Structures are given as structure tokens and as C-alpha cells.
Chains A and B, each alone.
Chain A
Amino acid sequence: MSSDVTLGSTVRSEWIKFRTVRSTIMGVAITFVLTIGLGALITLAVRAHWHSMDPTRQLIFDPVSASLSGILFAQFAVGVIGTLFITSEYSSGSIRTTLAAIPNRLELVWGKLIVLVASIFVVAEIACFITFLMGQAIFSGVVPTASLGNSAVLRTVILAGVYLTLLSVLGFSLGLILRQSAACISVFTSLLLILPIIVFLLPQSWQNTMSKYEPSELGHAMTSVTTPGNDFGTWTALLILTIYVVAVWGVGTTMLIRRDA
């Protein structure tokens, strides 16, 4: 007799769990509001002040990343969604029920990961495309605009959604390691916000070599049409961020398998 518990049934089970708690629904709503709402506010502000803007700044103005700037806030929302997807199992104790139903822990992690990545990718791409198109519509006639017909522009908008998806997996992976929501969200926020401040306090030469490795700076490189400052190129940035996330995920998965539930 073949097993009833497969990756497919695990995905189905985790999908039910993912969509039946309010934290997910709220998280997705907040992701939309932050990405699109803040995108609208920022693009409106740029349009209103465009004519008083310094001409040199006008010259390097990137209408794509300006319209996508809401993801700076949305990255925390998706991080929290990813974190809570696993830490809520520990805070409630339901991880034991889950593991009794799905004893293969690697399969459980894959199941959760597939549900998380698929859901957040769809949500994030929709949010990014809407905010991009809305931003260009707001800029239209006053500020130079970008078109999805340009492959570099299309790539940037898609990668903005990929960036958010990777950060949700980072939140999830921290959850596997730390098991506590508050601890995970602190670490997650520190990595994105505090790490750049610490690097900023270091000598200039260290800053130049180190800052481009910060997760937030890698995100900046991924979501800009032209490579900013001394950052890595788009694809290198994507590769490095992916390596970070996979490494943390690997540690988290190993800990889930080895530790008592």
C-alpha cells in the first residue's frame, strides 16, 4: 500500500492552514496597502515637486524604483507572514499535531515552503505590477516614465516581487531556527534596518566593501534598472540574496529535523 502522506497532501494541508488564519489575510492586505499605497504617495509627491527638483537629480531619476519604493515597507509585512507561518505552530503548540500527521519533517518543510513561496510570489508580483503601472500613470505627462516593453524595466518589476518572496522565506527560515515570533521579527528587522546603520559607523573603506552585501542593499540592486553606486549587478545581487536565504533555510530545516518538537 502506498503512503497517504505525500508532498502533494502536505501542500494541500498547509495551504488550508495558511489561508485560514487572520494573520495571513491581514499580512497580504498590508502588503498590498504598503506596496501600492506608499507607491502612490511617493509618485504623487515626486510629480508635485518635479519642476522644483535639482536638474542633476532629475537626470539620474529612476521612475521604476521610485514607483516600487513601497516594497521597502512591504518587505516587513511579508517577513512577518513567513515567520508566523511556522512560529504560530510553536506558540500554539500545534506543531505536535502537525508532526503527528506528517512525521517526515523534511516533507513538512518543503510543503510549507511551496505554499509560502507560491502565495507570496503571486501576491507580491500583483502588488508590484499594479504599483508600477499606477506610478507610471501618475508620472505620465510630467515626469519621465518607464515601459514594461523595455526588458530591463520588466526584469526590475519582476525582481521586486522575487525580492519580497525571498524575504518571506527568510522570515520563515528564521522561524524554523528561533521558534518565537518576537525573536524572529527582531532579528529580521535588525538584518534589514540595523545592519546598515552598524556598517555606516565603520570606516569608509570597510563600508564600501561591506554595504553591498547587506540584504537591503542587495534588494536595492535587484529593484533598480541601473546598478546603483558600488552595488553588485542585478543578477549577482539576486544570487547572493538567494544564497543567504537558502543557507538560513538549510540551518532551520536541519534544526527542525534534529531537535525535539
Chain B
Amino acid sequence: MIKIEHLTKRYDDTLAVDDLDFEVRPGVVTGFLGPNGSGKSTTMRIILGLDHPTKGRATIEGKRYAELRDPLHEVGALLDAKAIHPGRSARNHLRALAASNRIPFSRVDEVLEFSGIGSVADKKVGDYSLGMSQRLGIAGALLGDPGVLLFDEPVNGLDPEGIRWIREFFRSLANEGRTVFVSSHLMSEMAVSADQIIVIGRGKFITQGSVDALTASAKGSVFVRGANHQQLLAALKAHQGVVSELNDDGLSVSDLSSDQIGQIAFDAGVALYELTPQRASLEEVYMDLTADAVEYGSTGARNE
């Protein structure tokens, strides 16, 4: 279990992490979601004791990272797959890591095989593709067979086969009772690979919940097409309907159910040609949630 308590990190003028407070529980895959620059990586670096928090703390099984006696046996992490000396071979890289925590070299061969890079283990890491580096990073995280695993944007650079492999891998780690904490800026990825999702934006906590609950919380809308859109619009507004979109094709209405809209149209004497309830996708929920928290958004896409 990872516990984040009132965590704040300030770099000079920027508040990278602003009073975050959440828990990451074992046995499930927890997605850590937020736009680029929202503080995900900073939070992970603080969990690993690499950056010092300005306020608050991050603990693993109740202990700060620096207090862990056998760090690689307790926590495995993949932060940046390319952050390995390019001139060293994968095997030597893992052996150096293993030696630091008294892990036998036989375990190095095991994780190399498991990650699917056993055949290229003696090649220089600098010659690896991003996908191979990700697999090496995963091998490194597994070295000490830890109960808590952190992955920062692990899907980047993986091919479709690799993505499927990593999803199943996260799932199996969680099923073994481990704590699996995976960051991503892609909701679509988290929707399929995570059970629980924590959303942050601009360093602030936004929401937390299961994928299903988040989707359910989404405000749906109803697409309406009828004989007279102007007349329909007036009638819907009179009934507190919110029309978010009006064009030649039809209207997008929220805050009213399709039953209510059908009744209003009937009362107003407007013939309806189409009445379609539309459920917001998880992607839209996420865009909605983080719309105000996008650090470098394209201004055209902002709905303010």
C-alpha cells in the first residue's frame, strides 16, 4: 500500500504537486491519470525518495522510501526506460542493481527471460528500441520480487503485442496481491488496464474511483432531431433543459432524460425524427475533469 498525505512539491515558482492525498491499495491495478505536466512523475519521484517533498509525505507500507531496509525487495519502479547508461549491457545493468540489494545473479537471468529480452541481454542498452528498454525497465522493477510496483507511462513505445503483454502482466501482479500503480496521460489506456483510477490536474487531486463509477458519473446527453429546432429549443429551455449544441442536424440536450424530452416535444407539437441518449465516453469524462488543468492545452480545444 502506498499512502500519499498532504503531499506538496514546489520547484522555484511552480507548484508541481499541490496537497495531494490518496491511497493506492494492494490487489488492484491503480491508474494514475493526468495531462502531461500535472505532477504524476513528480509524485512518483517523491514516493521513491528521489525528490524531497516541500510538505506532506509519501509512505510505502507505513515507511518513507529512505527508511526501507531492502528497497528492491519492497518496491520495484520503472520511471524512465531510457534512463540507463547506454554503453552498458542489459545483463550488466541488472547485475549491478542486483548486487546492490544482494539479489543472486540467477534472478537477473530469470527476469531477462520473463521480459522477453533474454536473447539480447548482452547487447548495449544504447542500441535498444524504446520498447526493448521498457521491457528492460520492467525486468529491473521485478528484480527483487517486490510487493509494490510503480510504472511511469509504461506503455510508451510498446508495440500492440507489448501493450497487451503489459496489461495482462499488470493484472497478474495485482491478482497476486501486489500494489500496482501505473501512471498514464491516456484515459483510453487506463480504461482497459486499470481497476481504480486517480485523476490529478495541475498537481491537484481531481477524483478517485473505479473505472465503472467514473463512467457512470459522466453526464450523458440526448441527441434530438425534429421538425422545428427553434420551437423545440424554446420549449426545452422553458423546462430547464441545457442545449449544448444546436445546428442543422439537431440538438444536444443535457439535464433532461429522453423521456422528458419526448414529452416536451409532444406538448409543444413538434414532431421528433430522432431521440438518442448518448453516454459520455470515459475519454470525455476525463477531458471534462481535466479541462481546466491542462498545462499546455491548445486554446481552440478549451471549452471555457
With a cutoff of 8 Å between Cβ atoms, the chain B residues found around residue A102 in the complex are 71, 100
- Evaluate contact between A16 and B96: CB separation under 8 angstroms: yes
* Contacting residue for A99 out of B50, B80, B95, CB 8 A: B50
- Evaluate contact between A103 and B68: CB separation under 8 angstroms: yes
Q: Which of B43-94 contact A (CB under 8 A)?
A: 45, 48-52, 65-66, 68-73, 75, 77, 79-80, 82-89, 92-93
With a cutoff of 8 Å between Cβ atoms, the chain A residues found around residue B48 in the complex are 96, 99-100
CA distance A14 to B88 in the complex (A): 13
* Contacting residue for B99 out of A1, A12, A23, A261, CB 8 A: A12
Identify the closest chain B residue to A259 (Cβ).
B52
B279 interface hit (Cβ, 8 Å): no
- Evaluate contact between A261 and B45: CB separation under 8 angstroms: yes
- Evaluate contact between A9 and B100: CB separation under 8 angstroms: yes
- Evaluate contact between A3 and B70: CB separation under 8 angstroms: yes
With a cutoff of 8 Å between Cβ atoms, the chain A residues found around residue B79 in the complex are 96-97
Known: A99-B50, A101-B72, A103-B71. A5 touches B101 (CB 8 A): yes
Q: Which of A55-88 contact B (CB under 8 A)?
A: 88
- Evaluate contact between B92 and A20: CB separation under 8 angstroms: yes
CA distance A89 to B84 in the complex (A): 8
Identify the closest chain A residue to B85 (Cβ).
A92
With a cutoff of 8 Å between Cβ atoms, the chain B residues found around residue A88 in the complex are 85
Known: A3-B70, A260-B45. A9 touches B99 (CB 8 A): yes
With a cutoff of 8 Å between Cβ atoms, the chain A residues found around residue B71 in the complex are 5, 100-103
CA distance A101 to B100 in the complex (A): 7
With a cutoff of 8 Å between Cβ atoms, the chain B residues found around residue A9 in the complex are 99-102
A116 CB, min distance to chain B CBs, angstroms: 15
Among B50, B66, B68, B95: residue with most chain A CB under 10 A: B50
B218 interface hit (Cβ, 8 Å): no
With a cutoff of 8 Å between Cβ atoms, the chain A residues found around residue B51 in the complex are 260-261
- Evaluate contact between B101 and A4: CB separation under 8 angstroms: yes
CA distance A7 to B102 in the complex (A): 11
Interface of A is mostly: helix
With a cutoff of 8 Å between Cβ atoms, the chain A residues found around residue B34 in the complex are none
B140 interface hit (Cβ, 8 Å): yes
- Evaluate contact between A20 and B96: CB separation under 8 angstroms: yes
With an 8 Å Cβ cutoff, the count of chain B residues facing the other chain is 37
- Evaluate contact between A101 and B97: CB separation under 8 angstroms: yes
With a cutoff of 8 Å between Cβ atoms, the chain B residues found around residue A92 in the complex are 83-86
**Interface size range of chain A in the complex:** 20 to 34
- Evaluate contact between A94 and B100: CB separation under 8 angstroms: no
A81 CB, min distance to chain B CBs, angstroms: 14
* Contacting residue for A21 out of B45, B85, B102, B140, CB 8 A: B85
With a cutoff of 8 Å between Cβ atoms, the chain A residues found around residue B95 in the complex are 16
- Evaluate contact between B96 and A13: CB separation under 8 angstroms: yes
Q: Which of B90-133 contact A (CB under 8 A)?
A: 92-93, 95-97, 99-103
Known: A16-B96, A17-B96, A100-B48. A94 touches B68 (CB 8 A): no
Known: A92-B83, A94-B84. A103 touches B102 (CB 8 A): no
Known: A3-B69, A4-B69. A97 touches B97 (CB 8 A): yes
Interface contacts beyond A12-B100, A96-B50: sample of 7 additional A-B pairs, CB < 8 Å, sorted by A: A4-B101, A5-B70, A92-B85, A96-B79, A100-B50, A101-B100, A103-B49
A residues adjacent to B (C-beta < 8 A):
1-5, 9-10, 12-14, 16-17, 20-23, 88-89, 92-94, 96-104, 260-261
B residues adjacent to A (C-beta < 8 A):
45, 48-52, 65-66, 68-73, 75, 77, 79-80, 82-89, 92-93, 95-97, 99-103, 140
Query: Can you list 29 residue pairs at the A/B interface with Cβ under 8 Å?
Result: A2-B69, A3-B69, A4-B69, A4-B102, A4-B103, A9-B101, A12-B100, A16-B95, A17-B92, A17-B96, A20-B92, A89-B85, A92-B84, A92-B86, A94-B84, A94-B93, A96-B45, A97-B79, A100-B48, A100-B49, A100-B72, A101-B72, A101-B100, A101-B101, A102-B100, A103-B65, A103-B66, A260-B45, A261-B45
